[in-house]
A = this chain, B = another copy of it.
């Protein structure tokens, strides 16, 4: 059974994040067994994607218009900037409908082993914003990983002479978690970061 177009599609799908070879097969066969409308719609959306979605010139998030809807929203507090690794993290925080400020997408994290230094991230642009926008607080919403910690430390050093409060997302036990199954580092962090009730 040699079905080239199908095999090529399975291979393409299997390279997407979180999709293995079996899932890729399931998805490709699902699309083939569905109405051609599904394949056509997906095809159309994909072909127009990079033209329709651009990077916001201010925060670096994905948007259809520049500046993006967050940066151009006059109701948002420009004195608080939430620094995130990627546009996707920005989306996830935005979907929580809790943060009143604006964002800055770094475009990665400092990772010397992968050859990613501060110069590869949009840190200079962040500094420019800090000077021009009268920023009071910078929230570092970076993953609690080695790379996230390194990047947070670097930013903290860069900012220590500026009159800006630098905070970081609380790290500790996830809601619904179980002390029995939590790793030692997380337990240590939640002990150190304990809050008064």
**A residues at B contact (CB < 8 Å):** 1-6, 8-9, 12, 16-19, 23, 25-27, 29-33, 36, 38-50, 52-53, 61-64, 68-70, 86-88, 90-92, 94
Contact = CB atoms under 8 A, between A and B. Distances in A.
Given A5-B64, A17-B26, A53-B6, A43 B47 contact: yes
Nearest to A88: B29
Contacts of A64: 2-5
A18 B29 contact: no
Number of copies: 2
B5 A30 contact: no
16 contacts: A1-B61, A1-B70, A1-B91, A5-B45, A5-B53, A5-B64, A12-B38, A17-B26, A18-B19, A19-B19, A19-B23, A19-B27, A31-B46, A39-B50, A42-B46, A43-B44
A11 to B, nearest CB: 9
